[in-house]
Amino acid sequence: MPRIIRNGSVVDDDWQLLRLPEGETAASVVLPAGPVLLPLAVWLARRDEVIAYHDRIGVWLDSDEGPEMLAGDIDRFAVIGVNFPKFTDGRSYSSARLLRERHRYAGEIRAIGDVLQDQLFYMRRCGIDAYALRADKDPEKALAGLSVFSESYQAAVDQPLPLFQRRNAVEPA
Amino acid sequence: MYRYDSTDQQLIDQRVAQYRDQIVRHFAGELSTDELRPLRLQNGLYIQRHGPMLRIAIPYGVLAAAQLRKLAEISRRYDRGVGHFTTRQNMQLNWPKFEETPDILGELASVQMHAVQTSGNCIRNITSDHFAGIAPDELTDPRPYCELLRQWSTFHPEFAFLPRKFKIAVNAAAEDRAVIRVHDIGLDLVRGDDGDIGFRVFVGGGLGRTPMLGKLVRDFLPRRHLLSYLEAILRLYNRYGRRDNMYKARIKILVQALGVEEFRRQIEAEWCELRDGPTTVPDAEFERMVRHFAPPAWENLPAVDLMHTSRLRADKAFASWVRRCVHAHKTTGYAAVTLSLKAPGVPPGDISDAQMIAVADLAERFSFGEVRVSHEQNLVLADVRQSDLYEVWQIARSHRLATANVGLLTDMICCPGGDLCALANARSAPIAEAVQQKFDDLDYLYDIGDISLNLSGCMNSCGHHHVANIGILGVDKNDEEWYQITIGGQQGNAATIGKVIGPSFYAMEVPEVIGALIDVYLEQRTAGERFIDTLQRIGVEPFKARAYAGRDRRRTAKIENAEREVVNA
């Protein structure tokens, strides 16, 4: 069973990631049994069917697909994946923050794709709490990437107050 | 200046540890070259023509003497005893060893310095006015705002992998000395109708292949909203900026594609969700920042020092230096001094380790221990007593730091060029030197007067050639170095992008062509006119005609077509 990082430790994970195979369409692809992260297009095309036949529903957003596309349904998802086609494509950091801060999504946000140790800290700050490391990487080793810095200047999902709000609270004027 | 507290220091120390670990993992084969690249770039490390280049951040150009001493020590110990100041107020070391870069960053951290986000597709060093805090034409000191932005942008989790680099500049003076309109975001500190301080916000400026001036997106942004408003802009850029073509990935292309009206509407819509949130900056934080930039203990001095006046009369060379290199200070009896890094025969912006020590000494003795870096690649002592100017000049002169050419033709902005930079199409330092040689007579330079001549070795335009009265751009065609000339560019409040005069020139022609342009000006000018004034009055044609007079351009005709494609790409 694949292993991922979730809530700061490496765990077994039974979610399958569905990527549309070449030649398949969202309408025609066979949905695997069990918990599955569906491409957004499949979710949009077959929403009612998915709701009817799946207990736990997951979806994943590519880096050019915004969380707005899930609006209204956000609380149905047990897991929302955010894809990093290349680790240098930073769009999914914004998607994760929007899911948490604007859409108030409280379920798991999972980084998928080109997920590497040196980006985990920023991902965590943006509200991503599960990480499916790239297949050739060791998730145990990558854990170190979650705790590189002990403080942060900016407000983000993990720390909703910027440092200046907290610094002023303790520092005498 | 800003002093780190324990949290600031801890963050920088942790950054060094992180980078050290990344280099170890790289050598252990756990972090590939491609995986390391963006990580090292965000620590200032490029792999260049002859090896690595390390770009060290100098936030908004402010340096303590002790920091400059450390830079001298680092350049001596880890490099070749030379540093290069850049147009973004940073310092580049051109000969560090790759495996020693973690140690260099460790050394920097010991004096509250770093190389964080000096490269890579992230928010870069914030730049500002080198006369900040002392300029008579200043509304308020921009540095507290710059530092606020530095902290906000440092390790920003959402904006570390933008489509492309992102540059922010802040001006607070009547005359913009930070060229804010050629930055991705230009911030102009202004006072609102009710007396509050806030910003005029420009977005989408930039040089490079597609030079553009920033567009005004907001007339007045109250200062407490600065960070939430910038987050809105950056989020739009992160999500919607082009990532398919690196030449079209800067925010200026997004602004242009959407149109400024639509872009402004989208900013406002995003900002609506963010404003008044926790990122709203309370007055207490501004006050904390302002305290870090409290003015030094200026003395009460007479407006005129009689000794100084008599030296000005007696010593022509000193008087020339004062005219070009000494600038007004808002406090009576004080002046700002530019130490020119444009001495003949030295690549513009270069400084030796011995000169760094000399400047640190000067700063400690005469200017409250602080130095500024200007985007024109000179250094500034911001708080010198008028009565000390003569001694400062004598010492500076003995270190070749007193060339009286600030604002003149040989005060060129110039990138390192093809001798060092892997991106460059052509060399720039030898051209700068050839121009310096042709115009080596100071009296002639004084006669020509105020003019800007900037030189870039490639389209990335690090040498700001687009905004120079005369701009020189290196282009490589068939393995030969050619130089394209633009004229009419300006920085400052009247920022203007220069126009290409025509087919490019062979390297050896460049000094003559500059000479031809200058001749037209000298013949045509009316009393009091600067080069740019004459050019604007009589137009480009007379300059163009003289530049090409007697030159056979057939040889370059084919080349030029190819060039145009590149320029318009």
Give CA–CA dist B152/B231, Å, rounded.
10
What confidence category does residue B422 fall into, taking pLDDT thresholds of 50, 70 and 90?
confident
Q: Tell me: the pLDDT tens digits for B8-17?
A: 999 999 999 9
Write the DSSP assignment of B489-529 as a string of letters.
-B-STT-B--EE-SS-EEGGGHHHHHHHHHHHHHHH--TT-
Contacts of B281 in chain A (CB under 8 A): 164
Domain that holds residue B83: 6-109
* The amino acid at B459: M
List alpha helices for B352-506, DSSP H: 353-366, 389-398, 429-438, 442-448
Do B104 and B196 lie in one domain? The reply is no
Taking alpha carbons only, the member of A8, A88, A168 closest to residue B7 is: A168
Confidence of residue B553 (pLDDT cuts 50, 70, 90): low
Choosing among B35, B230, B270, which should be mutated to test the A contact, i.e. which has the most A CBs within 10 A?
B35
Q: Tell me: the pLDDT tens digits for B92-145?
A: 999 999 999 999 999 999 999 999 999 999 999 999 999 999 999 999 999 999
B114 belongs to a structural domain: no
Does residue B406 have a pLDDT over 70?
yes
Q: Where does residue B89 fall: left (phi above 0), alpha (psi -120 to 50 degrees), or beta otherwise?
A: left
Residue B509 in tokens: 């022609």
Q: Can you tell me the mean pLDDT for A141-168?
A: 95
Same domain? For B361 and B437 the reply is no
Write the CB contacts of A63 (distance below 8 Å, at least 6 apart in sequence). A82, A83, A84, A85, A89, A91, A92, A95
Say if residue B139 is in the same domain as residue B280: yes
Q: Is there a contact between B459 and B473 (Cβ–Cβ < 8 Å)?
A: yes
Q: DSSP letter for A68, please.
A: G
User: Does some domain include residue B231?
Assistant: yes
Query: B48 by DSSP, 3-state: which?
Result: strand
How buried is residue B561: exposed, middle or buried, by Cβ count under 10 Å (0-12/13-18/19+)?
A: exposed
The answer to whether the CB atoms of B160 and A94 lie below 8 A apart is: no
As a 3-state breakdown, chain A gives helix, strand, coil percent values, each rounded to 5, of: 35, 20, 45
Q: Give the C-alpha separation, B88 to B100, whole Å.
A: 24
At B287-311, the pLDDT tens digits run 999 999 999 999 999 999 999 999 9
The residues near B295 (Cβ < 8 Å, ≥ 6 apart) are B133, B331
> pLDDT tens-digit profile of A74-118?
999 999 999 999 999 999 999 999 999 999 999 999 999 999 999
CATH number at residue B434: 3.30.413.10
Q: Domain total for chain B?
A: 4
Kindly state whether residues B99 and B148 are assigned to the same domain: no
Whose structure tokens read 């960053």? B105
Which candidate, B534, B459, B472, B536, places its Cα nearest to that of B501? B472
Query: Within this chain, do residues B215 and B318 fall inside the same structural domain, yes or no?
Result: no
pLDDT at B129: 98
Adjacent-strand bridge partners of B206:
B212
Is B369 within a domain? Answer: yes
Q: What is the pLDDT of residue B514?
A: 97
ipTM of the complex: 0.97
- What three-state secondary structure class fits B96? coil
Tell whether B387 and B422 lie within a shared domain. Answer: no
Report chain B's mean pLDDT, rounded to a whole number: 95
The phi, psi pair for B358, rounded to 5°, reads -60, -40
- Compute the Cα dihedral for B471, B477, B482, B485 and give only its sign: negative
pLDDT (tens digit, 9 = 90+) per residue, B31-53?
A: 999 999 999 999 999 987 778 99
**CA-only gyration radius of chain B, Å:** 23
Q: What residues of chain B lie within 8 A of the CB of A123, using their CB?
A: 157
Query: Does residue B129 lie within any of the structural domains?
Result: no
d(CA A133, CA A4): 7
Q: Is residue B403 part of a domain?
A: no
Judge contact between A120 and A91, C-beta under 8 A: no
pLDDT at B370 over 60: yes
pLDDT band at A170 (very low <50, low <70, confident <90, very high): low
Whole-number Cα distances in Å, B326 to A164, B178, B389, B441? 38, 19, 9, 20
3-state secondary structure of B262: helix
DSSP for B169-217? EEE-BSS--S-GGGSSEEEEEEE-TTS-EEEEEEE--B-TTS-BPPEEE
Domains of chain A: 3-148 (3.20.20.70)
B301 lies in a domain? Answer: no
pLDDT digit string, tens, across residues B222-241: 999 999 999 999 999 999 99
* Same domain membership, residue B231 and residue B207: yes
C-alpha distance from B87 to closest chain A C-alpha (Å):
26
Let me know whether B282 and B345 are in one domain.
Answer: no
* Cβ distance of B162 and A90 shorter than 8 Å: yes
pLDDT for the residue numbered A71: 83
Helix and strand totals (H; E) in chain B: 19, 21
- pLDDT value of residue A169: 59
Enumerate chain A positions whose Cβ falls within 8 A of a Cβ in B: 66, 87-91, 93-94, 97, 102, 116, 118-119, 121-123, 125-126, 141, 144, 148-156, 160-165, 167-168, 171, 173
pLDDT at A173: 42
Q: B63: which strand partners?
A: B371
Per-residue confidence at B91, pLDDT binned at 50, 70, 90?
very high
